[in-house]
Amino acid sequence: MNASTTVNSGSQIPEPNITRFLFADTRMAPVWLLVRVYLGYLWLMAGIDKVMEGGWIGEGAGGAVKGFAQGAMAQTTGEHPQVTQWYASFLENVVVPNASVFSYLVVFGEIAVGLGLVFGLFTGIAAFFGGFMNASFIFAGTAGANPLMFILAILLMMGWRVAGYWGLDRFALPAIGVPGSRGTLMQRRRGGGIHQQPSRVE
């Protein structure tokens, strides 16, 4: 029996070729570029619109967040409530008392996610935080484009290895490294000036 052909219960399940092609092959980079830039544009415009409309930052910061939270809390009643009680309690006890803080977090979070996705810098991380905000808005009873944006964010997180290949991640990830693999910058720092050129034994 050839042990290499058996799969033990404790071994890793091999990645199917189709998922490797979709989420790890650089030939898919142009497709991920379109998805990434589209989603990034939506986030960037959402953040800029909030800056322009007022009630989010500067004078009156937090007013829009309070109105949003109160509208969500009003959806906990009725035969088919749109907002769960636990999320309404979170809004009432955490968000509303700190509305101004959450207001800045939402605005600059949306802009940061948008820029990260558009330029392809830390794409997986940007998609994660974007999806987190989408989930928060959905929990608050707001649908609109949030379900679609959430799905696109999940796909980008799955394809993070190549989603930013046609972007800054192509240079940033090899330099900084990823979990389980140090980048070139970390390797140089660990080497310091002590083991830069190992001696050759003839």
Give the pLDDT confidence of 59-88 residue by residue, as tens digits: 889 999 999 999 999 999 888 899 999 999
Please report the pLDDT score of residue 198 as a whole number.
Answer: 45
pLDDT in tens, 96-132: 999 999 999 999 999 999 999 999 999 999 999 999 9
Please report the pLDDT score of residue 191 as a whole number.
Answer: 60
Q: How far apart are CA 104 and CA 186, in angstroms?
A: 33
From the list 70, 64, 69, 63, the residue with the least C-alpha distance to 46 is 64
| % of the chain with per-residue pLDDT over 70 | 88
* pLDDT, mean of residues 170-179: 90
Give me 197's structure tokens.
Answer: 């050129």
Give helix 29-53 / helix 99-119 axis angle, nearest 10°. Answer: 150
More confident residue, 45 or 60: 45
| % of the chain with per-residue pLDDT over 90 | 74
Domain boundaries defined on the chain: 40-173
φ and ψ at residue 42, rounded to 5 degrees: -60, -45
Please report the pLDDT score of residue 16 as a whole number.
Answer: 93
More confident residue, 42 or 191: 42
Work out the pLDDT band at 182, boundaries 50, 70, 90. confident
Residue 7 has pLDDT above 80, yes or no: no
* pLDDT, mean of residues 86-97: 96
Mean pLDDT score of the chain? 89
Work out the pLDDT band at 19, boundaries 50, 70, 90. very high
Q: How far apart are CA 70 and CA 75, in angstroms?
A: 9
Give me 192's structure tokens.
Answer: 């310091």
What burial class does residue 63 get, using C-beta atoms within 10 Å of its C-beta: 0-12 exposed, 13-18 middle, 19+ buried?
middle
